[in-house]
Amino acid sequence: MCACFFPRTVLFWVWLCFLWDWGVGCPLLWAATPREELLRLVPDSVGFCVVVQDLRDHAAALQASPFFEQLRQTSFAVKVRNSDSWRKLGYIESKIKQRLGLDWKQLCDDVLGDAVVFAYRPGLPGRPQQEQGVMLLRARNEKVLAALTGRL
């Protein structure tokens, strides 16, 4: 005789729901971040690796910060904005927009916004031609990235 107060079918369905939740629900919670997805692809033998994560939100937060507003008003920032180097950056942006069809904001938000990994592996001593580098990225908008690679 069973000392249980629930019918067997109820216990069976509770157990089945638990297994379903554990088998299907938990892996969804364990989903890797874009940074983790890219770092899995970087070999262990690299000598140097730089990760830029969530560039879109960090850039927006910096531009909205009081620090950035005060920095814009400093004499140093005014000199930088009036310099030839700043004008060259504007020229480079116009060329990028002309050739690739993207401006800085769209490039940052849609292509580089989620995660970018730069990895470098030095060559053997005396063999600098064996140096290797790779750039991996996780774009937010794959259509923009596909159009960009098509133009390159």
Q: Which tens digit of pLDDT belongs to each residue from 93-133?
A: 888 888 888 888 888 888 887 888 999 988 888 888 888 89
Is residue 65 one of the residues assigned to a domain? yes
Helices 84-100 and 142-151 cross at an angle (nearest 10°) of 90
Examine residue 134 and state whether it is found in any structural domain, yes or no: yes
Rg (the chain; Cα; Å): 25
What total of structural domains would you count in the chain? 1
Query: Are 116 and 51 in contact, with CB atoms under 8 Å apart?
Result: yes
* 9-48 exposure pattern, b = at least 16 Cβ within 10 A, e = fewer: eeeeeeeeeeeeeeeeeeeeeeeeebbeebbeebeeebee
Residue 105 lies in a domain: yes
Confidence of residue 2 (pLDDT cuts 50, 70, 90): low
- Domain coverage including residue 109: 32-151
User: 3 pLDDT exceeds 60?
Assistant: no
Global pTM? Answer: 0.62
For 38-66, the pLDDT digits (tens) are 888 888 888 889 898 888 888 888 889 99
